[in-house]
Structure 1
Amino acid sequence: MNVKIDPWSSTNIVDYSKLFEEFGIMPFDDLYPRIDNPHRLMRRKVIFGHRSYEYVLDAMQNKEPFAVMSGFMPSGHIHLGHKMVMEEIIWHQQKGADAFVGIADREAHSVRGISWEKCRDTGINEYIVSLIALGFEPHGHIYFQSSSDNVKDLSFELGSKANFSELSAIYGFTGETSVSHMVSAITQSADILHPQLEDHGGPKPTVIPVGADQDPHMRLTRGLAHKMNMFKIEGRENKDGQHYFSIRSKAAPQGALEELHDTIPGNTKLFEGHLDVLGADNFEELLRTVRDVELRYGGYAFVPPASTYHRFMSGLQGGKMSSSIPESHIALLDDPREGAKKVKRAKTGGRISLEEQKKLGGEPDKCSVYDLLLFHLLEDDQELLQIHEACVTGQRTCGSCKNLAAERMEKFLKEHQEKRELARERLDEYCL
C-alpha cells in the first residue's frame, strides 16, 4: 500500500482489499452466515474483516467464556466514529461476553500531551457517560490505564518481549519518538490481553472491535501473546507420513514438560526441550491441556486476541472522520439543531446539476450523508436499500437525503443527550 497504517494519524484508507493481501486480515463475509441476529454493521458489511474471530464465534455459540475489549483515547470530543465501536462492544456484551472498556489516558498524555486531569474529565464526562447511555451494562469493566494495576504490571512484563526494532517496523517509530510514546503502545497490548488474566477468569477468546487503522496494535499484541506463552505447539509429520504434534518449550520451568508427559493420554515421547504427541486427533483438547499446565506453572497461556475491523465513516467534508478534525464529524454532545445543520452542509455523492443527477444518478458510496444513514440513522435495511436504488437511478435528489438525515440526526442527538443525563446518575454503579 502507498499509505502506512498509523493509529495516530488522520490518514484515510481507500482500498480495504489491500489489507487482506498485505496484512493477513481475513474477510468477514465467510463468518457472517454463522452469526445469530447480527449487528447492522455486520449486515451492511461495514465490518469487513477479522483476525481469528471464528474462535470467538465458537465460544459464543457453545456458551463458553469469551470477552470483548476496546479502548478510547480521551483526546477530543466523542463522535459518531466512537459510537460505532461502543455499539459493537455492547452487542458482544449482550451475546454473553465479559466486556472491557479502557480509557487510554496514558496514550493521550504521552502522544497528545493532554494533562491527567483533562484526560479523566474527558474520559468520564464524554466517553463513559455516552457508553452507559448507549446501553453498556454495569457488570462490564470500565477503567483508566493509569489506575489499572493489572494493565500497568502486564505492560511491564510485555515490555521485556518487545524491542525498538519491532516497534519501529510496526509503527514507524524513529530515534525522535519519545519513550513514553513507545510505552503507551505496549500499554495498548496490555489493555488487549488483560481480560485473560487470572483476575478475570483466565485465558479465553477475546475480540477487539477496531477501525482498520488500529491493526498495528493487533499485530504487535498477537506477537507478544505468543512470546509470553511457555509452549508452542507445532504440527509435524514423521518419515512414515504419520501426523503428530510437537510441544516445544520456550523457557518453561523445569518439570512442566514432564507434567505434560504424565497428563496427556496416549503415545507421548519426552525429549529435552520438547514433547512429541502421536495419535492425538483433537487439537483443541490438547491445547486446553497445555494451557492448564502452563497456568499451574505461573504462565499466562494467552489465547491470541481476535479482532473485527470496520470501514471508516466518511468525514462530513470528505476523507476520514476524526476527533482531531472538528469539521469532519458530528460530536455526540453537539447541539441537536447544530448537528442537523452540519448534515445539511455535508458533502454528498450527488452530481453537479439536477439534470445530470437525473440522467446519471448519484453516487451513494461516495456520499457522507448516505454514510450517516448506513452507519447510524436507519435500522431498516429495506428502507436503506430503497434509498440507495433511488439515488443511483436518479430518482432521488441530495436534498431529500439531507433532509431525512438531518431530521434523524437531530432526533438521535436529542434522545442520546437525554439518556446521558440518566446515565450520569448511574456512574456509581460502574466502579470507576
Structure 2
Amino acid sequence: MAQKLDPWKSSEISDYSKLFDEFGIQPFEEVLDELPNPHKYMRRGIIFGHRGYDMIADAIHNKKPFVVLDGFMPTGKAHFGHKMVMDQIVWYQKQGGIVVIGMADREAHAVRGMSWEECKQIGVEEYITSLIALGLQPENARIYFQSECQPVKDLAFELGTKVNFSEMAAIYGFSGETHLSHMIAVLTQGADILHSQLPIYEGPIPVVVPVGADQDPHIRLTRDLASKMNLFLIERREDQKTGNSYWSVRGKGAPEDMFKEIDKNIRDGFGAAGVQTKLSKEHIDVFGDISETELSEIVKNVELAGGGYAFVLPASTYHRFMSGLTGGKMSSSIPDSNIALSEEPKAAAKKIMKAKTGGRESADEQRELGGEFDKCSVYELYLFHLVDDDNELIQIQNDCTGGKILCGECKKKAAGKMEIFLADLQQKREEAFEKLPMYGIDYQRNG
C-alpha cells in the first residue's frame, strides 16, 4: 500500500526505503563521501534521503555560496523534534551557508487558526530564542515572519499562476471543503523556499531545505513551480543519426530575441573552441565542448536581464522522525511523548524515567539476552541529541545488547544528561531573548 505524506499531520512511515521508489527521493549515502565534515545525523543515517543535494555538497566542498532555508510553524512549544532541524541549520551556517529562517505565521493562521499575536509570541519566545541558544549566529542570518515579508507574499502570488486546484488536490488531497487561505499558505511555503533567489536578495543560488519526510510534498511542488517559472530548460539529447550527444536549450514562452542573445553569447564565448549552434524559434541546439555549468551561466544571465527568475531548483534532505517517549509517534498533543526545549529540567528527567524502552520482561532475562536498543525511545535520545561521540554511542549499544546495563540505570544516565543540557539551554535562551533588539528583532514579552 502506498505511503501518504501529509505536512499537517503526524505521518507514520513504516519503511523509509520505500520513499525512494514511491516519491523519487535519493539515498543520502550516495553523497555522504562528498562532504568534508558531515553532521552526526548524516553519519548515523538519521538523514536518509535527498533531492538535488550534489550541488550543495559541491558548494560546501568548494566554499561556494549557498542558502540553507527552513521554516517553523509557530503553533506550540518547540521540542526536540524541532531541535533536529535547528541543529542542521547551525551546522550549515558553520559550513559557510547563508541562513534564512521563515516563521510560518500565515500557515499557522490558515491551518491551525492561530491569531497573529499568538504566532508572534510563540515564534519569538519558543523558536527564535531556541535557535540562538543552540548556536545560530543571528547577525549572519535573515529571520522573518511570512505576514511581514512583502517579497515572499508577492512571489507567492506569482507562483499561483503556475498551479491549479487539480494539481493541489493531487499533491495534498485538497477537496471542495479546503479554504483558499490554506492553499495560499502552501504557495507561501514555496515562496519561502525560492525568494532568496530573487535579485533583491542573493539571486539564483543553490538552496537546501532540511526537513522531515512528511514535508516532501512542499519540496516537490516548489521544485515543479521553480521549473515552470523559468523561461528556459537545458536538456542533454542524442542525435539519432550519429549517436552523438548535444545540449538543447528549450524555451517556455521566452521571446525570440532572448534566443538570439543566448545564441550570440555562446558563439562569442565558445566559438573559438569549436562550439557550434543551431538556432530555431523555440530552441537552440549546442554542439561541442561546453559544460552544463558554462551553458547554464549564459542562459541564466540572459533570462535575468530579460526580467526572468532563472531559479535554481531547490535541494532538500530528509531525516527520520524520533519516536515518542510513550511509544508510537511523537506528538505535540501528547505532552508525555515529547520534551519541549523550554521544559523544566527535572520535569524532563521524570518523563525519561517513565519512557518506553527496548528492555526485556525481567532483569534476569535482560542480563541473559540483552536489551533491544533499536526499539528504545531512550536510546533515540542518545542517538539524536544527547551523545555527540560515536564511540560513546557504540558503547551504549554494546552495554545494552550485552546485558551489562538495565533500563533503569540507562534511563538515569539519559535523564542526568538531559537535565544538564536543558539547564544550560534555558540560561542561553534567556540571554538570547535579552539580546533580540541587538539583532533587529522588535518584540516585548507580555507581563
Paired residue for 2:248? 246
Q: Select between 321-330 and 96-105 the one with higher mean Cα deviation.
A: 321-330
Paired residue for 1:166? 167
Provide the identity percentage: 58
Q: Deviations over 1:131-174 (max 9, x none)?
A: 11111112111000000011101100001101111111111111
TM-score normalised per structure 1: 0.98
Paired residue for 1:217? 218
Query: How is 1:153-232 mapped onto 2 (pairs within 5 angstroms)?
Result: 153-232=154-233
- Shift, 1:332, TM fit: 0.7
- Shift, 1:368, TM fit: 0.6
For structure 2, which runs of at least 5 residues remain unmatched after alignment? Answer: 268-274, 442-447
1:166 partner letter: E
Query: How is 1:10-25 mapped onto 2 (pairs within 5 angstroms)?
Result: 10-25=10-25
- Shift, 1:430, TM fit: 2.8
SS in 2 for 1:120: helix
Paired residue for 2:95? 95
Paired residue for 1:320? 329
Would you say the 8 A contact 2:35–2:60 is kept in 1?
Answer: no
The answer as to 2:155 corresponding to 1:146 is: no
Paired residue for 1:365? 374
- Shift, 1:117, TM fit: 0.5
Task: Give the Cα–Cα distance (whole angstroms) in 2 for the partners of residues 228 and 257 of structure 1.
Answer: 17
- Shift, 1:429, TM fit: 3.1
Task: Give the Cα–Cα distance (whole angstroms) in 2 for the partners of residues 14 and 157 of structure 1.
Answer: 37
Query: How is 1:390-409 mapped onto 2 (pairs within 5 angstroms)?
Result: 390-409=399-418
- Shift, 1:355, TM fit: 2.1
- Shift, 1:42, TM fit: 1.3
1:325 partner letter: I
Paired residue for 1:233? 234
Q: Select between 130-139 and 104-113 the one with higher mean Cα deviation.
A: 130-139
Paired residue for 1:263? 265
1:292 partner letter: N
1:403 partner letter: K
**How many corresponding residue pairs?**
432
Would you say the 8 A contact 1:351–1:357 is kept in 2?
Answer: yes
SS in 1 for 2:162: coil
Task: Give the Cα–Cα distance (whole angstroms) in 2 for the partners of residues 269 and 280 of structure 1.
Answer: 15
Query: How is 1:324-335 mapped onto 2 (pairs within 5 angstroms)?
Result: 324-335=333-344
Task: Give the Cα–Cα distance (whole angstroms) in 1 for the partners of residues 398 and 20 of structure 2.
Answer: 29
Paired residue for 1:414? 423
Would you say the 8 A contact 2:34–2:58 is kept in 1?
Answer: no
SS in 1 for 2:127: helix
Would you say the 8 A contact 1:141–1:430 is kept in 2?
Answer: no
Query: How is 1:15-94 mapped onto 2 (pairs within 5 angstroms)?
Result: 15-94=15-94
1:43 partner letter: R
Task: Give the Cα–Cα distance (whole angstroms) in 1 for the partners of residues 29 and 266 of structure 2.
Answer: 37
Paired residue for 2:7? 7
Q: Select between 28-37 and 400-409 the one with higher mean Cα deviation.
A: 28-37
- Shift, 1:2, TM fit: 4.3
Q: Deviations over 1:363-385 (max 9, x none)?
A: 11111100001100111111110
Paired residue for 1:125? 125
Would you say the 8 A contact 1:253–1:297 is kept in 2?
Answer: no
SS in 1 for 2:143: strand
Task: Give the Cα–Cα distance (whole angstroms) in 2 for the partners of residues 95 and 269 of structure 1.
Answer: 42
Would you say the 8 A contact 1:76–1:324 is kept in 2?
Answer: no
Task: Give the Cα–Cα distance (whole angstroms) in 1 for the partners of residues 34 and 140 of structure 2.
Answer: 27
Would you say the 8 A contact 1:78–1:332 is kept in 2?
Answer: yes
2:95 partner letter: K
Task: Give the Cα–Cα distance (whole angstroms) in 1 for the partners of residues 390 and 157 of structure 2.
Answer: 46
SS in 1 for 2:33: helix
Task: Give the Cα–Cα distance (whole angstroms) in 2 for the partners of residues 142 and 185 of structure 1.
Answer: 19
- Shift, 1:360, TM fit: 2.4
SS in 2 for 1:298: coil
- Shift, 1:325, TM fit: 3.0
Query: How is 1:342-357 mapped onto 2 (pairs within 5 angstroms)?
Result: 342-357=351-366
For structure 1, which runs of at least 5 residues remain unmatched after alignment? Answer: none
SS in 1 for 2:203: coil
- Shift, 1:254, TM fit: 3.6
Task: Give the Cα–Cα distance (whole angstroms) in 1 for the partners of residues 2 and 328 of structure 2.
Answer: 16
Task: Give the Cα–Cα distance (whole angstroms) in 1 for the partners of residues 333 and 97 of structure 2.
Answer: 31
Indicate the RMSD between aligned Cα atoms, in angstroms.
1.2
SS in 1 for 2:194: helix
- Shift, 1:253, TM fit: 2.9
Pick aligned residue for 2:307 from 298, 301, 318: 298
Task: Give the Cα–Cα distance (whole angstroms) in 2 for the partners of residues 273 and 288 of structure 1.
Answer: 19
SS in 2 for 1:36: coil
1:251 partner letter: G
Would you say the 8 A contact 2:256–2:281 is kept in 1?
Answer: no
TM-score normalised per structure 2: 0.95
1:106 partner letter: R
SS in 1 for 2:153: helix
Paired residue for 2:272? none
Task: Give the Cα–Cα distance (whole angstroms) in 2 for the partners of residues 270 and 193 of structure 1.
Answer: 31
Would you say the 8 A contact 1:78–1:323 is kept in 2?
Answer: no
- Shift, 1:3, TM fit: 3.5
- Shift, 1:320, TM fit: 2.3
C-alpha change, 1:252 and 1:324, in structure 2 (3 Å) is: farther
